[in-house]
Structure 1
């Protein structure tokens, strides 16, 4: 048995009007296959190129170890020179990933390689983020704290993307006071005996190739698995739906600080309680 996942619709290219009407307004994902061929990045951006221009930069690395109460918010698990990290990616599979790496700040010359596309949404120009991963490395299923509209541009190799909208929360073993699901679920090959509610979840999937753009609507859950070593860049636009904007403000102003406080007060017991609640809350939706 597999997850109930539809293929994300694909278009060769798209006008601003069609994007707003067919994907943004109904909040549906789409892959745009040919949209950035005029960017210098389309031809230039490869692992070797990044190694050439950013090899001496020390980069923060993350793996798939479970969250621990002593971990700070987005605190890296290791650090390495970018040149050494790219050598590692090309040499062997590794769990180490880079995420939320601010390209503007770290390597200003990269700005010359792309432009801000006009999708009809105001993109946040200070926040182009780069993400890197080794073969078979993956992110936990999560959604972004600000519930932004995300445009995910993939470079080099292939990447599996699985998405769910917020209406599927009750089936996903969502961790309370958090933005992730249970970390011990493998969404690329889930154990339905252990996680039976996942049988009822309805989502989307696609494999991204070099130069393709994935639009993820506001607050969509996303799981990313690198099928080959590669990297991506995300551009984002603020949540426009009032409910999502409200959730985003709550997450940033209240939820994040509450969770940090409870980790300090209760330690690992807080993490364990949240994991138990995720299971109990989800099983309740099945009447179990």
Structure 2
């Protein structure tokens, strides 16, 4: 048995009007295949180019170890020079990923290689973020703290993306007071005996290649698995739906700080309780004994 996933629709290119009408207003994902071929980044950006231009930069690395109460919010598991990291990616599979690497801050010259596309949404120009990963490395299923509309531009390699909208949260074993689901679920090959509620979840899947853009609507859950070593850039636009904007404000100003406080007070017991509650609450909502 497999997850109930439909292929994300794909278009070669798109106008602003088509995007707003067909994808933004109904909040549906889409892959745009050939929109950025006039960007210098399209032909220039590769792992080798990043090694050349940012080789001496020390980058934060993350793997797929479970959350520990001692870890700060988004605290890296290791650090390495970009040149060493690219060499590692090319040499062997590695769990180490880079995420939320702000290129404006780290390598300002890279901003000359791309422009902010006009999809009819105002993009946050201070937050172009890069994400890197080695073969078979993956992110946990999560949604972003600000529930933004995300445009994910992929460079080099192949990447599998699995998405769910917020209506599927009751089936995904969401961890309370956080933005992730149970970290021991393998969404590329889930164990339905262990996680029976996943049978009810309905989502989307696609594979990104060089030059593809994935639009992820507001608050969509996403799981990213690097089929081969590669990297992507995300641009974002603030949540427009009042409910999502309210949730984003709550996450940033209340939920995150409450969770950090409870980690300090209760330590690992807090993490263990949340993991247990993810199962208890999901099974209760789905009448699974």
If the TM-score is normalised by the length of the shorter chain, which range does it land in? over 0.9
Q: Distance in 2 between matches of 1:275 and 1:126?
A: 35
RMSD of the TM alignment (CA)? Answer: 0.3
Instruction: Name the counterpart of 2:51.
Output: 51
The CA distance in 2 between the partners of 1:23 and 1:214, in whole Å, is 11
C-alpha separation in 2, matches of 1:253 and 1:104: 25
> Does residue 203 of structure 1 match 2:212?
no
Instruction: Give the C-alpha shift of residue 83 in structure 1.
Output: 0.2
Instruction: After superposition, give the CA deviation of every residue in 1:167-223 in whole Å (9 maximum; x if it has no partner).
Output: 000000000000000000000000000000000000000000000000000000000
Corresponding residue number in structure 1 for 2:21:
21
Which secondary structure does the structure 2 equivalent of 1:89 belong to? helix
**Is residue 2:120 matched to residue 1:149?**
no
Name the residue aligned to 1:226. Answer: 226
Query: What is the DSSP-based 3-state SS (H/G/I as helix, E as strand, rest coil) of the residue aligned with 1:150?
Result: strand
Aligned pairs for 1:108-123 (under 5 A) are: 108-123=108-123
Q: Does 1:124 align with 2:124?
A: yes
Q: Deviations over 1:43-99 (max 9, x none)?
A: 000000000000000000000000000000000000000000000000000000000
Partners of 1:284 and 1:119 in 2: CA distance: 41
Question: In the alignment, what sits opposite 1:105?
Answer: 105
Q: Which residue of 2 aligns with 1:194?
A: 194
The Cα shift of 1:286 comes to 2.3
Counterpart in the other structure of 1:170? 170
Distance 1:37 1:177 in 2: 41
Shift of 1:35: 0.3
3-state SS of 1:187 partner: coil
User: Shift of residue 279 of structure 1?
Assistant: 0.3
Q: Counterpart of 1:235 in 2: which secondary structure?
A: strand
Deviation (angstroms), 1:36: 0.2
CA distance in 1, matches of 2:256, 2:81: 30
Residues 18-59 of structure 1: per-residue CA shift (max 9 Å, x gap): 000000000000000010000000000000000000000000
> By how many angstroms is 1:151 displaced?
0.0
1:262 positional shift: 0.2
Distance 1:281 1:203 in 2: 21
Structure 1: which 5+ runs fail to align? none
Cα shift at 1:285: 2.2
